[in-house]
């Protein structure tokens, strides 16, 4: 038996050796290891602390052995106290170094690090600066300012020495202890300007790729001007809507972490522009609290910059985020700030879209007449600027607020007027919203079959667009229309599908839909 942190590929090729790769322990194995060393009673007495110890040790046998040794040496100490000591990422490696030995975590990691070529060693160090839990090749290449082929070769060297793991095709990560070790080495070996330049390249990659992806999700939303990307930033083409949605899904955590890291590093332009890039995706996927939190970060950065254009954008998007969370007073305050800033700048488009958003805020406050006034202001301004996409969106909004005020024939008329414009511009999200609006108008006019058709088509479009909450909303209304038409079985099916979509979101609307299902089941 030959053991090594290297994959020993030559031994496999030349001698026919059988590789037996060993990963980190799974959680039950890690807990069992601690129980063998500390005794099952001590481990069972503090399950939460044990879970934190396992997480802080990255389920690495050596680190767990060190943790167990510390706990055995201090039998009167609660395991929670040891877990708290390991909670500080910067101090964790120190805590896992048994005094006076060469068998600590750093020493073992150094055996692999010292075998690396200088280029691979530099890449490993810089990976400690990457803000996310994992990275694709383009992000890694950008971080190091390398071409794709060179980055691929160096990543191969790092994976062979088990300093980096390719946990999914094209995506790379290291466990937390290795990341801390890499970051520590970077501080020792790479000067501050080089580390900052690497982080800036990484943030540039996420910002510019995210901007390209966002344009597929919301092509008619007025774009920002992203800060220019520096030299050495990789380009990742995003071909269409579904590629954009897939990219955002893969990079969701990395983009959130990048926003936080931009703030910590004082890169305030990135700190407000990255949340802009994320906004549509987070809204469509139902991550409303994250959307609001990132927009608060963005607004703070814009305020530090003293950039009124950025401040107007951030107030607007934060207002829209607060609408979705039901915080209408906060939403109105931010939207009024945005309206004032856009008006002072003479920004007609920004003013019009803010009126559009104010309509939504007043609608959810139960003030449809005030909402209608803002939607009409938006419609007039968009007609003046010749923006057919937003004219169509505003027509849908005007129709919706007419319906909320009980004027269902007018709601239907405005929805019908918007439909050909939406077909012309090919905006599926706008079309889905309009179909939902038409469905409600038909339903309230007693045309339940037409309503069901509209709701069914809207739900299908929202499903294609990856908007689960809106899909569930249309399915819920579809159930209402089918029940009104006397089709209880169809209503039961529609509400069942709505519940399936909502449950992963942990959305409170699920309770109301469950009640409808119970009612229909009782009467079937």
pLDDT at residue 334 in the model: 99
The partner residues of 173 in beta bridges, in order of sequence, read: 165
Q: Give, in words, the CATH class of 116-190.
A: mainly alpha
Q: Can you list the positions of beta strands (E) in 316-360?
A: none
**The whole model's pTM is what?**
0.86
pLDDT at residue 157 in the model: 97
Residue-range domain boundaries for the chain: 9-109, 116-190
Tokens representing 188 are 């020792």
pLDDT along the chain (524 residues), means of 10: 58 59 76 86 87 81 79 82 77 69 72 94 98 96 98 97 93 91 95 98 99 97 96 96 97 98 98 98 94 98 98 98 94 98 97 98 94 98 97 98 96 98 95 98 97 98 95 97 94 95 87 88 61
Task: Provide the 3-class DSSP secondary structure of residue 268.
Answer: helix
Helix axes 61-73, 27-38, angle to 10 degrees: 30
Q: Can you list the positions of beta strands (E) in 99-143?
A: 135-136
DSSP 250: H
pLDDT at residue 58 in the model: 76
Quote the CA–CA distance of 34 and 298 in Å, as a whole number.
Answer: 43
Quote the CA–CA distance of 158 and 116 in Å, as a whole number.
Answer: 8
DSSP 225: -
Asked if 373 contacts 397 with a C-beta cutoff of 8 angstroms, the reply is: no
pLDDT at residue 290 in the model: 97
Sheet holding 135-136, edge to edge: 135-136, 171-173, 165-168
Quote the CA–CA distance of 358 and 129 in Å, as a whole number.
Answer: 41
């Amino acid at each position: 038996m030959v053991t090594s942190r290297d994959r020993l590929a030559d031994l496999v090729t030349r001698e026919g050796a059988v590789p037996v790769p060993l990963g980190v322990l799974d959680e039950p194995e890690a807990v069992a290891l601690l129980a063998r060393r500390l005794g099952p009673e001590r481990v069972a007495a503090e399950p939460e602390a044990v879970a934190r110890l396992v997480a802080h040790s990255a389920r690495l046998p050596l680190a767990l052995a060190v943790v167990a040794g510390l706990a055995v040496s201090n039998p009167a100490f609660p395991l929670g106290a040891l877990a708290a000591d390991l909670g500080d990422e910067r101090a964790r490696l120190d805590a896992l170094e048994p005094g006076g030995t060469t068998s600590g975590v750093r020493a073992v990691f150094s055996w692999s690090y010292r075998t690396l070529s200088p280029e691979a060693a530099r890449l490993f160090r810089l990976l400690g600066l990457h803000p996310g839990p994992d990275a694709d090749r383009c992000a890694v290449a950008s971080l190091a300012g390398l071409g794709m082929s060179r980055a691929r070769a160096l990543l191969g060297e790092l994976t062979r020495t088990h300093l980096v793991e390719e946990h999914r095709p094209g995506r790379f990560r290291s466990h937390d202890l290795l990341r801390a070790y890499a970051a520590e080495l970077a501080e020792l070996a790479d000067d501050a300007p080089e580390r900052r330049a690497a982080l800036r390249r990484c943030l540039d990659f996420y910002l510019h790729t995210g901007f390209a992806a966002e344009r597929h999700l919301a092509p008619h939303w007025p774009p920002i001007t992203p800060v220019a990307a520096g030299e050495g930033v990789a380009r990742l083409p995003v071909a269409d809507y579904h590629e954009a949605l897939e990219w955002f899904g893969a990079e969701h955590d990395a983009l959130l972490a990048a926003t936080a890291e931009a703030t910590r590093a004082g890169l305030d332009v990135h700190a407000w522009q990255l949340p802009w890039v994320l906004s549509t995706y987070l809204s469509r996927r139902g991550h409303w609290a994250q959307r609001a939190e990132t927009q608060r970060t963005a607004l703070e950065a814009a305020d530090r910059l003293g950039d009124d254009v950025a401040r107007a954008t951030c107030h607007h998007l934060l207002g829209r985020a607060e609408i979705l969370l039901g915080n209408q007073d906060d939403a109105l305050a931010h939207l009024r700030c945005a309206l004032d800033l856009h008006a002072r700048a003479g920004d007609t488009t920004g003013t019009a879209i803010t009126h559009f958003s104010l309509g939504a805020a007043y609608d959810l406050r139960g003030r449809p007449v005030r909402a209608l006034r803002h939607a009409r202001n938006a419609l007039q301004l968009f007609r003046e600027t010749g923006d057919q996409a937003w004219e169509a969106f505003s027509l849908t909004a005007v129709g919706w607020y007419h319906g909320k005020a009980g004027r269902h024939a007018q709601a239907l008329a405005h929805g019908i007027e918007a439909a050909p414009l939406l077909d012309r511009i090919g905006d599926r999200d706008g079309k889905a919203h309009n179909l939902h609006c038409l469905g409600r108008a038909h339903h309230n006019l007693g045309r339940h079959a037409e309503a069901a058709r509209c709701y069914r088509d809207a739900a299908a479009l929202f499903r294609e667009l990856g908007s689960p909450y809106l899909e569930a909303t249309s399915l819920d209304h579809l159930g209402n229309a089918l029940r009104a038409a006397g089709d209880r079985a169809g209503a039961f099916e529609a509400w069942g599908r709505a519940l399936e979509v909502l449950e992963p979101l942990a959305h409170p609307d699920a309770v109301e839909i469950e009640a409808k299902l119970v009612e229909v089941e009782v009467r079937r």
